[in-house]
Amino acid sequence: MGYLTIWFSLLEREIDEAIASFLHVHWALGIAVTAQFTSFAGKCRLLRTLVDLQGEDGAQKDFLLTIVDAAKDVNSRRNELIHGDWFVLATSPPGGITKVSMKAEGKLKDKFSHFTPEKVMEVARDSQAIARKVPNAVSLCPRNAALLETQVDKLLMEFRNRDASP
């Protein structure tokens, strides 16, 4: 679980820096922005939007968006491991653990998930591998500040026109 925590933290930091890059601000200012997001999925949605606002589609853009999707997937797998109560039960896999999750959605629901150390390490390694791909993908993707400003201005104009319509 320690490797998973460390390597996912690295992935989150790379996503933060990618957002800063697409906002055309110093990474420290970018982190001040991304710190306002309470979920990693929200950061991924923001990065996706910023990449989309760069205009033309292309292989570099698709490559980065594929990595963002992979980051969202590994986040879901990480959340499944991290959140819940852990036990070693008679039904736990050899050398493994069992996570019990409880939800109250009209009625109490429980879920038992069994994990081996290998499964935990798989998610940790996937987090690390994706984190290592982010900087390269960002460097290949065009980041045009003027185009971003033009796209945002266009969206604001469309919004104002819609808002002004009877």
For the segment 59-81, what is each residue's pLDDT rounded down to a tens digit? Answer: 888 999 999 999 999 999 998 88
The whole-angstrom distance between residue 75's C-alpha and the CA centroid of its chain comes to: 6
pLDDT of residue 143: 67
HSE on the CB side for 162, CA within 13 Å?
A: 6
Q: Which is more confident, 60 or 159?
A: 60
Taking each helix axis from N to C terminus, what angle separates 2-23 and 27-34, rounded to the nearest 10 degrees? 110
Q: Pairing relation of β-strands 97-104 and 85-87? A: antiparallel
Distance CA 67, CA 61 (A): 10
pLDDT at residue 166 greater than cutoff 60: no
pLDDT of residue 88: 78
Nearest alpha carbon to residue 126 among 78, 61, 63, 64: 78
Enter the pTM of the model.
0.78
Residues 6+ positions from 41 with CB-CB distance below 8 Å: 72, 75
Helix (H, G, I), strand (E, B) or coil at 100: strand
Residues 6+ positions from 37 with CB-CB distance below 8 Å: 43, 46
E strands present in the chain: 85-87, 97-104, 108-115
Q: What is the mean pLDDT of residues 94-118?
A: 77
**pLDDT digits over 124-154, tens only?**
999 999 999 999 998 888 766 566 667 667 7
